[in-house]
Structure 1
Amino acid sequence: MVNTSITVSEFILECTATICVLALIYSISMFANLLVIMVIILNPQLHAPMYIYISTLAVIDLANGSILIPKMLSVLLLGSPAVPYGACVLQMFLVAHVEEMESLLLAFMAFDRYIAVIYPLHYTSVITNKKVGIGLLVSNILDTIFKLHILFFVGELSFCRTNILPFCFCDYSTMVRVSCNEDPKYLSSLSVAVTVSGVFPLLLILLSYSRIAMEAMKISSEGGKSKIFSTCVTHLLVVGLFYIPLSLSFILPGAGVMIPTETYNIMFTLGNVVPPMMNPIIYSFRNKEINKCIYRFFARKKSALKGRK
């Protein structure tokens, strides 16, 4: 039997998630990341490379959550599963872009800590605001170009069976699976892209933190040693929450391994929704300088409110 292509103007999302959990995670993520961005912008002493990385991570986390969660909530609360074709492709591309930018940024941050710990005397000359800005801009441009092949491949897909995507989001590998195209290039290219843009930065992160841990072993002070190990462990926890589920959800389908729908949904959601809530806690609220600025910010607000009374 010959498959007959149909014109698809929209996709239907099948969403199974907990509304309260999603709403809580999104609220915490929005508040925490907006607070971090605002505090760093308002305090000139925080206009340094490490804090530029932290604020950029907060912007990426805001974008990631805002691209995914509002639509997921609208599907669950309002019963509006239909997504126009163009909007679905745009969401898919933006999610892939912010995921890759977060991957690269975490690698930059690990390298920043590596230089700060291993070569502290050279830090100010090696890591500067200008170099950080150029690095972020160039990586953003290159990643956009690198992801354009997805748009070309999506344009080649034809649909003859269904336009239902069994998830709360628009996803490239799922779109390929429900299409009528059998060419393995559509999924194998995804595995290659994730390996290059995801696995390599992860290796750099692991190498950086392992080298930092080795340097910490040489410190005689137990307090200093435990502080460095605590930082490494907490950072690697967030890295694991981000990388492991997303890498597996992209690489395995591309390698021909079928993942159950519910498992894939959990892996993708976990990798995209939880880190934006955890990152401000791990990278920002545990930082003494940011904590001081946040305290002063709320103290001024409290004093201003008392003055009005």
Structure 2
Amino acid sequence: MIYQITKMDNSTIPLSEFLLHCVVESDKRNLTVCLLFFIYFVSLFGNLLVTMVIIFNHQLHTPMYIYIATLAVIDLANSTNLIPKMLNVLMHDSSAVPYGSCLLQMYVVLYLEAFESLLLAQMAFDRYVAVVHPLRYPSIITKRNVLAALLISNIVGAFAKSPFIFLANELPFCHSNVLPYCFCDYATMVHVACTENPKYLIILSGIVTFCGVFPLLLILFSYARISLAALKISSVEGKKKVFSTCLTHLLVVGLFYFPLLASYILPGTGVQLSTEAYNTMVIVGNVVPPMLNPVIYNFMTDFVLIYVPNIKETLSQKVQI
């Protein structure tokens, strides 16, 4: 049973906790729980394996694999932050979360989303330099530059999402403390709060545009240039390797960016999404990519060839041009 605080007037209720309630049909609940268990197991095993292999293999301490290890750590943190709580809510129909803990989970979700967005843009730029400017790759993509870029992305993500702590903290709640969601989510808090002030969702749309749309444009530009470079490769097999890898990478990028961007930006522009549609998009964007990333960013030879193309072939192509 779900208990909620209700007031007949519009006086603000001092909250000590939120009640989470997943909007999932009862006949689909068991299937959803099993699916989440499977996704979490695959995400945990795959990303832990990727991280440990890179840490203990000193030959993999290169810029390319530093990016992959960082992505694996982010995916581990995101999955662990979300899925256990979602399972708890689903299996018990609802779950009480202390107010401060709820705000913390909300912030961690937003911060990790921003960090991963900026990281994916850096990885796309890495591939762009490796394929389009291979001779300059060792001087541009160095360990020092990669670590500096990761530190900056970490700081930008942390500061860009910090306003939501203060915005959520000032939301007035006068009708209910029940969040119809599987985890603590900022936009859901705004919809439950008794306020019509559009600033709360407009700020969300603006910050998400900065942390999401601009990196996505950089990724699309990088892949477009990589595709043009692939067309100049004389080997048919080489072209297939480039295009197949680009398509699989773009699949993961699309599963991460498009559901999250749509769910965060559209409400701020006045477009109303149903609770089921919003929940589905945010959960897909946060849960599915961590499961697929270890499969996509594997350690097979084809993957290495995409990042470090044959210098002799590239030189001969440049001479022919």
The amino acid across from 2:56 in the alignment is: L
Q: What's 1:3 paired with?
A: 10
Cα deviation, 1:53-79, whole Å, max 9, x if unaligned, reads 000000000011001000011112245
Counterpart among 179, 182, 201 of residue 193 in structure 2? 179
Q: How many residue pairs are counted as aligned between the two chains?
A: 290
User: 1:10: Cα distance to partner?
Assistant: 0.9
**Matches for 1:144-163 after TM superposition, within 5 Å:** 144-163=158-177
Which secondary structure does the structure 1 equivalent of 2:297 belong to?
helix
Cα distance in 1 between the residues matched to 2:90 and 2:162: 31
Q: What's 1:213 paired with?
A: 227
Which secondary structure does the structure 2 equivalent of 1:279 belong to?
helix
User: 1:259: Cα distance to partner?
Assistant: 0.7
Cα distance in 1 between the residues matched to 2:59 and 2:283: 36
Residues 54, 284 of structure 1: 8 Å contact kept: no
Pairing 1:262–2:279 present = no
Q: What's 1:113 paired with?
A: 127
The amino acid across from 1:13 in the alignment is: L
User: 1:80: Cα distance to partner?
Assistant: 5.0
The amino acid across from 2:274 in the alignment is: P
Cα deviation, 1:195-232, whole Å, max 9, x if unaligned, reads 11100000000000000000111111100111111111
**Matches for 1:184-195 after TM superposition, within 5 Å:** 184-195=198-209
Q: What's 2:250 paired with?
A: 236
Residues 187, 201 of structure 2: 8 Å contact kept: yes
The amino acid across from 2:242 in the alignment is: I
**Aligned-pair Cα RMSD in Å:** 1.4
The amino acid across from 1:268 in the alignment is: V
Residues 9, 84 of structure 1: 8 Å contact kept: yes
Name the stretch that deviates more: 76-85 or 158-167. 76-85
Cα distance in 2 between the residues matched to 1:289 and 1:29: 20
Q: What's 1:164 paired with?
A: 178
Cα distance in 1 between the residues matched to 2:303 and 2:125: 20
Counterpart among 141, 153, 160 of residue 127 in structure 1? 141
Q: What's 1:252 paired with?
A: 266
Counterpart among 74, 87, 109 of residue 101 in structure 2? 87
Shift of the 26–214 alpha-carbon distance from structure 1 to 2, 3 Å rule, reads same
Cα distance in 1 between the residues matched to 2:66 and 2:190: 37
Which secondary structure does the structure 1 equivalent of 2:97 belong to?
strand
Which secondary structure does the structure 1 equivalent of 2:243 belong to?
helix
Q: What's 2:314 paired with?
A: none
Counterpart among 13, 17, 34 of residue 20 in structure 2? 13
User: 1:154: Cα distance to partner?
Assistant: 1.1
Note the residue ranges of structure 1 that are not aligned, 5 or more in a row: 291-309
- Deviating runs (4+, > 6 A) in structure 1? none
Cα distance in 1 between the residues matched to 2:94 and 2:246: 43
Cα distance in 2 between the residues matched to 1:171 and 1:96: 9
The amino acid across from 2:14 in the alignment is: T
Cα distance in 1 between the residues matched to 2:63 and 2:247: 22
Residues 259, 284 of structure 2: 8 Å contact kept: yes
Cα distance in 2 between the residues matched to 1:240 and 1:139: 20
Q: What's 1:74 paired with?
A: 88
Q: What's 1:225 paired with?
A: 239
**TM-score by structure 2 length?**
0.88
Residues 72, 169 of structure 1: 8 Å contact kept: yes
Q: What's 2:63 paired with?
A: 49
Name the stretch that deviates more: 28-37 or 175-184. 175-184
User: 1:20: Cα distance to partner?
Assistant: 0.3
Residues 15, 99 of structure 2: 8 Å contact kept: yes
Cα distance in 2 between the residues matched to 1:287 and 1:88: 43
Shift of the 287–242 alpha-carbon distance from structure 1 to 2, 3 Å rule, reads farther
Name the stretch that deviates more: 148-157 or 234-243. 148-157
Residues 132, 229 of structure 2: 8 Å contact kept: yes
Cα distance in 1 between the residues matched to 2:221 and 2:300: 23
The amino acid across from 1:177 in the alignment is: H
